[in-house]
Amino acid sequence: MAVALSLTCLSLAGCGFRPMYGENNTALAAKDTGGNNKLTQVRIDPIADRIGQELNNLLRDRMNPGGQPDVPVYRLAVTMSEIQQDIAGDNDEHVRHKILKVTATYTLYPVKEDKERLMDNQTSRITVSFDTLDDPYNDIASYQDAQRRAVEQLADMIAARVAVFFTNHPEV
């Protein structure tokens, strides 16, 4: 058992593996002049619609839980779209199962030069499913739950991709 663990650790060290949130990470753990990591220096632009507001709040919680930075170094612009599709029904021609496809396109800019793009038009897509009934309240609640699940997954994905970008580009 100890031999297998040692071999695994050696193989990870040989491939350049670095923990993204560990202390040895030069991109995220390196302290800037404000004493914060690079994710906390990202200002997230307002995102349109209610689902966009939810994504904005979740991204802020994941990237800079202290709120928007006072003096941001980077700016993240996000646009969203969603498509609802019927995928299964019953004999009465009532659609009972639907999918919701939510897409977020985002660009990371340095605040000093808005023309330069660090991450240009990155796209994250999430598909979630939900059921409907003949009860309008239940259908709305089910749809809103699907939106919430999709936005939570998008927030995780976008925050992770931005963190990986900073890890792979410590010079920015």
Q: State residue 32's pLDDT score.
A: 41
Q: Where exactly are the structural domains of the chain?
A: 24-168
Which tokens sit at 107? 């660009």
Given a contact cutoff of 8 angstroms between Cβ atoms, the answer to whether 37 and 159 are in contact is: no
pTM of the predicted structure, to 2 decimals: 0.75
Q: State residue 26's pLDDT score.
A: 45
Q: According to DSSP H, which parts of 28-110 are helical?
A: 49-63
Q: How many residues does the chain have?
A: 172
The DSSP result for 2-54, as a single string, is: HHHHHHHHHHHHHTT---SSSTT-TTTTS--TTS--GGGGEEEPP-SHHHHHH
Gap between the Cα atoms of 78 and 94, Å rounded: 35
Q: State residue 5's pLDDT score.
A: 58
Q: State residue 78's pLDDT score.
A: 96
Going by DSSP bridges, is the β-strand pair 42-44/74-89 parallel, antiparallel, or unpaired? parallel
Give the three-class secondary structure for 154: helix
Pick the CATH number of 24-168 from 3.30.160.150, 3.90.650.10, 3.30.70.20, 3.40.50.1820: 3.30.160.150
In the chain, what are the helix, strand and coil shares in percent, each to the nearest 5? 40, 30, 35
Q: State residue 82's pLDDT score.
A: 95
Q: State residue 52's pLDDT score.
A: 94
Gap between the Cα atoms of 89 and 98, Å rounded: 9
Q: State residue 30's pLDDT score.
A: 37
Q: State residue 31's pLDDT score.
A: 37
Gap between the Cα atoms of 139 and 127, Å rounded: 18
| Per-block mean pLDDT, blocks of 10 residues, the chain (172 long) | 59 57 47 59 93 95 87 93 83 76 95 80 94 86 95 96 92 81
Max Cα distance, the chain (Å): 65
